[in-house]
Amino acid sequence: MTNVEARRNCFQAIPKIMTRVAHDLAQHLSAEVVRALFDALDSGLDDYTTDERGDVGSWIRIACIQGLASIIVDLFRVSASLPHFADFLPAQRYHHVVGRILRQGVERLDNVRQIAGESFIRILCLSPPSVDDSENWRVRGETLMRELFLPDNSENGTNWNNGEWLFPKAVKLLEIPDYRKTILTGLVLSVSTRTNSTQRPASSSLAAYVRRLPVTSAGREYSVSGLAEDLVQYALTHSRSNSVVVPVLQTLNMLFEADALTSLPESETGAVCMESMISIASQSVSRMKNIQRIQESMKIIVNLFTVAPAAKTCLPKIVGFLVHPYPRVRSGTAEYLYLVLQSRELGWEASENAEELLLETGWSSTDVAQVKEAAQALVSELASNMESQ
């Protein structure tokens, strides 16, 4: 079904049907049908359709967020009368959806975040279902959730559409292993958005959180290397999707620029992650068509060039961006590399000759041979600078 309004109306109808028959649910709908309806709403959370009106998929996501919360409320309310409650709402499916609602609660659109926040608080305030093993349906990290979002034990005061209020709290949700990866993917979209009121608090909050993490952890506690691994795996799993890879690279670059990933080389997992980042960013550079992916890939290589264990690996790969077919990429690489060399503590200093090559070469020139010669000279000079200091 391609009509957005029609799809939204269908999704809005599902929870209404459930509410209408909830008092005698087992007589009207089988557990299999209820699960299918629940899963249909869950699938709607992945609708990011856009047209000339913008992110019209958000209409679908809002309807599905509200619908999922409504069904959970109805099922909990009539749980005592349902034979085999777990067949209607398996605990694993329940927690999967809670995590997905939380993801929407930390994504880039203010109105979607607000609806997701209200729906999540509605779920958080529910009493467990009246069944054996009811603890299986208790929200993970409930104590932390209440401290963050219900400090006065009131259902009021949710302000999820306000990034300054939300994101310093939201990053702490990464401490909950069951919802961690899903929430992280939502934060990635907020960090990469062009909306300053979302991007700025999301970025600063995530960077501050990561700087406080240990390099590694033995248990389920989050760590710098664990977060980097999750981001890298997310990108690798969707390597052909620019809509996933670009935000991940933007998030990694933001963390590098905020000095939040400087400890990565201290762990084996972190070192492996750095190798994967280099691979993602340097693969088929000359054949990349998406300018944003090229630019973010370039920044990954330059940022990793400032990390001692990766410097020698990254330096020759910078050439691929300095001689890229797109003049905009060549000049952007030279500019970013110069800024990094001037602003980062490298343990060595770039020579005046290297700086002159960066500043005085016409990187966007049509004289490709001259550009290639300058790129090779620059890399040789920087390699010499690294060796001599």
Rounded-to-integer distance, Cα 106 and Cα 170, Å: 7
> Range of 100's domain?
1-134
pLDDT at 387: 86
pLDDT-derived band at 389 (thresholds 50, 70, 90) equals low
54 in any annotated domain: yes
74 in any annotated domain: yes
Answer for the pair 179, 97: CB distance below 8 angstroms, yes or no: no
| Tokens of residue 144, six digits | 């932390």
pLDDT at 158: 75
pLDDT at 156: 53
289 in any annotated domain: no
| Tokens of residue 120, six digits | 């999540």
pLDDT at 232: 98
Q: What is the mean pLDDT of residues 349-362?
A: 93
Average pLDDT of the chain is 94
211 in any annotated domain: no
Rounded-to-integer distance, Cα 91 and Cα 99, Å: 12
Q: Coil, strand, or helix at residue 364?
A: coil
Rounded-to-integer distance, Cα 219 and Cα 56, Å: 41
Closest CA to 315 of 385, 362, 262, 255: 385
Answer for the pair 235, 249: CB distance below 8 angstroms, yes or no: yes
Number of structural domains (the chain) is 1
Question: Does pLDDT of 153 surpass 60?
Answer: no
Percentage of the chain with pLDDT > 70?
Answer: 98
Closest CA to 70 of 95, 46, 38, 39: 38
Q: What is the mean pLDDT of residues 242-257?
A: 97
Closest CA to 88 of 100, 79, 98, 96: 79
375 in any annotated domain: no
218 in any annotated domain: no
Cα–chain center distance at 106? 9
Q: What are phi and psi of 180, to 5 degrees?
A: -55, -55
Q: What is the mean pLDDT of residues 147-166?
A: 80
99 in any annotated domain: yes
Question: Does pLDDT of 157 surpass 70?
Answer: no
Q: What is the mean pLDDT of residues 340-351?
A: 90
Question: Does pLDDT of 370 surpass 60?
Answer: yes
pLDDT-derived band at 89 (thresholds 50, 70, 90) equals very high
Closest CA to 252 of 269, 272, 235: 235
pLDDT-derived band at 70 (thresholds 50, 70, 90) equals very high
Q: What is the mean pLDDT of residues 181-186?
A: 97
Q: Which tops the pLDDT comparison, 287 or 9? A: 9
Q: Which tops the pLDDT comparison, 121 or 154? A: 121
92 in any annotated domain: yes
pLDDT digit string, tens, across residues 274-331:
999 999 999 888 888 899 999 999 999 999 999 989 999 999 999 999 999 999 999 9
